[in-house]
């Protein structure tokens, strides 16, 4: 029996894809879906979103002249099939591994990744910029932005549509509507999309066929066919998009190539310049039963068994920081009916799913809308509520003006629970929680804490609940805690007071956050070499514990600060204090922070080692400051500031 060559083996690039007959594309879709499932089963990563766009990926690369035509994937977490088709199949099993392919689109990785992403809702803006750039250059190419229904909640998407709708650019927005975000989507826009779908059926095959038959007969008929097509969109739905100046086309079954291809071809060849919005309906996890059945659990997966769908999660030794935050806040809210919790589309990622079970009326999922989340919390604080905004460090970046203008200037007691602080591993640079210490500590009125373990996190949650004087933030890392006991009733901390964890007299390590464990390991190592070492947990970067810093400076020869963040954060504040108070005489100060570069995805431990933020690097810094030359074997793997 002769085995047929998988069609995917014939396609390493879009150029090769475009040489296939249209009737080979169905087989290609099957191969591509299977390859995506197998690759992610080896690497872990974002599965459901990619499976939902397999047909769309094939259709877009088949019909458009990528990379000359620009194809932009919003968020970028659905781009694995795109990577397989764009010369990266041979590396697809390195996805999200150190040195391997990024889990998102990345311009530096491939000419086919027209725009890098990781955060949502940027694609229409970037696409419009490209479309305008092309037309200023007199070029005629297409720009296609694929954006999910979940990502359609963010302000940026509307800012971009508002701008695009008033222009005449060749921008094609594909709204990939799978009726899912990470969790089920929420909000009026999501309800509107559902209504749009329920009020009309897909463009039927017959209608499409009729249009194809009319497609190229003669110029008059061609024009008429197009007019009919666009008029249909105008009349039968998509009114919001049309009011915003888009040609609305759809809804289209995004898993049916016989529908996708003619419609996209029509849009591509249309004489109308645009902008277009093609409403494509898909299913998250399509073609893989476990991912279809539990779209939320298969949004992001660890390695899994393809046959059973069972994910191989490493056994946890301790509860996650996220869970401890969720549980502690839930208990605090049992006693305090003013506590409310806000998430921007990440209920399980932030632990607010735990809170929501007990306090559904006090849980607000505002969808992907971090800016709104912060100002919404500010409004709640005006009404004497105690709002906790739980947002990852990286996504909070988007709400910076809201933190400054709506919260800090008005000194409103909004509580910022900042998860995923520090390196996050496989998601890489776009998701790294590097900057919040710097961007929060520079704000008047703000209190900034970092948890060194999960018991401290519980206490910081309680501290924030009791702090009505102004805004307060506490940060904690991704992943599991260190395994300490959690107090049943966590006591609030005294604002601006740190603690000495281990006492010595030559080297002092002042840790802000979860590097405390590495600091303790380093202290052991140094002590074994006869160097007496103090370790302190700063707890607060703002206000600083000035008494503690003074004491450490006066009693030691070397003061090392360490934090899971960029330059300009805790170390900078401590150094500023030391210098202004003439505390540096006879003292060697060594601030350790993330290097001045965006570090790629890898295991967090490797990222910390590279960043010179592990125990070995702390020892190195101490020995170097004491004038003891040391050549530890990990040294050359590190990045130095």
Ligand X SMILES: Cc1ncc(C[n+]2csc(CCOP(=O)(O)OP(=O)(O)O)c2C)c(N)n1
Site string for ligand DXP, 43-62 (x = CB under 6 A): ---x----------------
Question: What end-to-end distance do the CA atoms of the chain give, in Å?
Answer: 62
Angle between helix 25-43 and helix 54-63 axes, rounded to 10 deg: 130
Give the binding site for ligand X (CB under 6 A).
Answer: 49, 52, 75, 77-78, 119-120, 148-151, 178, 180-182, 284, 344-346, 368, 370, 395, 398
**Exposure pattern of 97-134 as b/e (b: 16+ CB <10 Å)?**
beebbbbbbbeebbebbbbbbbbbbbbbbbbbbbbbeb
Instruction: List the interface residues with ligand DXP, window 457-496 (CB under 6 A).
Output: 478
Half-sphere exposure of 431 (CA within 13 A, CB side): 23
3-state secondary structure of 631: coil
Catalytic residue set:
284, 370, 398
DSSP codes, 316-337: PSS-BHHHHHHHHHHHHHHH-T
82 annotated binding-site participant? no
Reduced to 3 states, what is the DSSP secondary structure of residue 540? strand
Q: Whole-number minimum distance, CB 420 to ligand DXP, in Å? A: 6
118 is in an annotated binding site: yes
Residue 119 assigned as binding residue: yes
515 binds ligand DXP (CB under 6 A): no
Residue 176 annotated as binding site:
no
Conformation bin of residue 96: beta by default, left when phi > 0, alpha when psi is -120 to 50? left
Binding flag, residue 48, Mg ion (CB under 5 A) = no
Give the DSSP letter string of 127-147: HHHHHHHHHHTT----EEEEE
350 belongs to the binding site for Mg ion (CB under 5 A): no
Token reading at 69: 């035509």
Q: For residues 587 and 249, give the distance between their C-alpha atoms in angstroms, rounded to a whole number.
A: 69
Taking the complex as a whole, how short is the minimal distance between the CB of residue 173 and ligand DXP, in angstroms? 20
- C-alpha neighbours within 13 Å on the C-beta side of residue 48: 26
Q: How far is the CB of 365 from Mg ion (least distance, A)?
A: 15
Q: Out of 39, 58, 180, 257, name the contact with Mg ion by CB under 5 A.
A: 180
Annotate each residue in 296-315 with x if it binds ligand DXP (CB under 6 A) or - if it does not, as one string: ----x---------------
Residue 38 assigned ligand-binding role = no
* Residue window 336-375: x/- pattern of binding to ligand DXP, with contact defined by CB under 6 A: -------------x--------------------------
Q: Can you tell me which of 72, 75, 152, 583 binds ligand DXP, judged by CB under 6 A?
A: 75
106 binds ligand DXP (CB under 6 A): no
Cα separation, 148 vs 439, whole angstroms:
30
Q: Is 581 annotated as a binding residue?
A: no
Which of ligand DXP, ligand X, Mg ion, none does 78 bind, CB closer than 5 to 8 A by kind? ligand X
Task: Give SS3 for 342.
Answer: strand
Q: Of residues 128-157, which lie at the interface with Mg ion (CB under 5 A)?
A: 148-150
134 binds ligand DXP (CB under 6 A): no
Sign of the C-alpha dihedral, residues 543, 547, 551, 554? positive
| Contacting positions for ligand DXP (CB under 6 A) | 46, 75, 77, 182, 300, 349, 420, 424, 427, 478
Residues in touch with Mg ion (CB under 5 A): 148-150, 178, 180
Mark the binding-site residues for Mg(2+), compressed into ranges. 149, 178
């Amino acid at each position: 029996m002769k085995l047929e060559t998988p069609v995917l083996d014939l396609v390493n690039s879009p150029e090769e894809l475009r040489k296939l007959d249209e009737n080979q594309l169905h087989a290609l879709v099957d191969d591509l879906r299977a390859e995506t499932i197998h690759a992610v089963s080896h690497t872990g990563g974002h599965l459901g979103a990619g499976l939902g766009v397999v047909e769309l990926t094939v259709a877009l690369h088949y019909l458009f002249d990528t990379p000359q035509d620009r194809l932009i994937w919003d968020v970028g977490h659905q781009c694995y099939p795109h990577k397989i088709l764009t010369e990266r199949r041979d590396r697809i099993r390195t996805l999200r591994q150190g040195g391997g392919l990024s889990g998102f689109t990345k311009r530096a990785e491939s000419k086919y990744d027209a725009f890098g992403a990781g955060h949502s809702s940027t694609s229409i803006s970037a696409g419009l910029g490209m479309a305008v750039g092309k037309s200023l250059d007199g070029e005629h190419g297409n720009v296609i932005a694929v954006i999910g229904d979940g990502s359609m909640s963010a302000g940026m998407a509307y800012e971009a549509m508002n701008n695009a709708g008033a222009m005449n650019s060749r921008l094609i927005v594909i709204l990939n509507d799978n009726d899912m975000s990470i969790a089920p989507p929420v909000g009026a826009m999501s309800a509107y999309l559902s209504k749009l779908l329920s009020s009309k059926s897909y463009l039927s095959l017959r209608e499409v066929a009729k249009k194809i038959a009319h497609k190229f007969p003669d110029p008059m008929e061609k024009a008429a066919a197009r007019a009919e097509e666009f008029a249909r969109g105008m009349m039968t739905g998509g009114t919001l998009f049309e009011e915003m100046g888009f040609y609305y086309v759809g809804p289209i079954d995004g898993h049916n190539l016989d529908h996708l291809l003619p419609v996209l071809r029509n849009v591509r060849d249309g004489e109308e310049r645009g902008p277009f919005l093609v409403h494509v309906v898909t299913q998250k996890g399509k073609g893989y039963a476990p991912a279809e059945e539990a779209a939320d659990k298969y949004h992001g997966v660890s390695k899994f068994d393809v046959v059973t769908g069972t994910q191989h999660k490493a056994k946890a030794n301790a509860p996650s920081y996220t869970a401890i935050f969720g549980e502690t806040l839930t208990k605090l809210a049992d006693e305090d009916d003013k506590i409310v919790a806000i998430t921007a589309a990440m209920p399980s990622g932030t632990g607010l799913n735990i809170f929501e079970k007990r306090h559904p009326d006090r849980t607000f999922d505002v969808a992907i809308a971090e800016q709104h989340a912060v100002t919404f919390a500010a409004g709640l604080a005006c009404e004497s509520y105690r709002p906790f905004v739980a947002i990852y460090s990286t996504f909070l970046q988007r709400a910076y003006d809201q933190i400054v203008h709506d919260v800090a200037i008005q000194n409103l007691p909004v509580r910022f629970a900042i998860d995923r602080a520090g390196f996050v591993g496989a998601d890489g640079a776009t998701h790294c929680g590097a900057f919040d210490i710097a961007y929060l500590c520079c704000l008047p009125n703000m209190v900034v804490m970092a948890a060194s373990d999960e018991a401290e996190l519980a206490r910081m949650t309680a501290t924030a609940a009791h702090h009505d004087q102004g805004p307060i933030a506490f940060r904690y890392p991704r992943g599991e805690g260190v395994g300490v006991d959690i107090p049943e009733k966590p006591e609030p901390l005294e604002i601006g007071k740190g603690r000495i964890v281990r006492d010595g007299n030559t080297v002092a390590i002042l840790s802000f956050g979860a590097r405390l464990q590495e600091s303790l390991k380093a202290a052991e190592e140094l002590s074994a070499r006869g160097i007496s070492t103090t370790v302190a947990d700063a707890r607060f970067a703002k206000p600083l514990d000035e008494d503690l810093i003074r004491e450490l400076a006066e009693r030691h020869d070397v003061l090392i600060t360490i934090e899971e963040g960029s330059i300009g954060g805790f170390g900078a504040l401590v150094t500023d204090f030391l210098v202004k108070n003439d505390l540096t005489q006879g003292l060697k100060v060594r601030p350790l922070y993330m290097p001045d570069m965006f570090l790629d995805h890898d295991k967090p431990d490797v990222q910390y080692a590279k960043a010179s933020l592990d125990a070995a690097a702390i020892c190195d810094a101490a020995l170097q400051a004491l004038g003891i030359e040391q050549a530890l074997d990990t040294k050359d793997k590190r990045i130095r500031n």
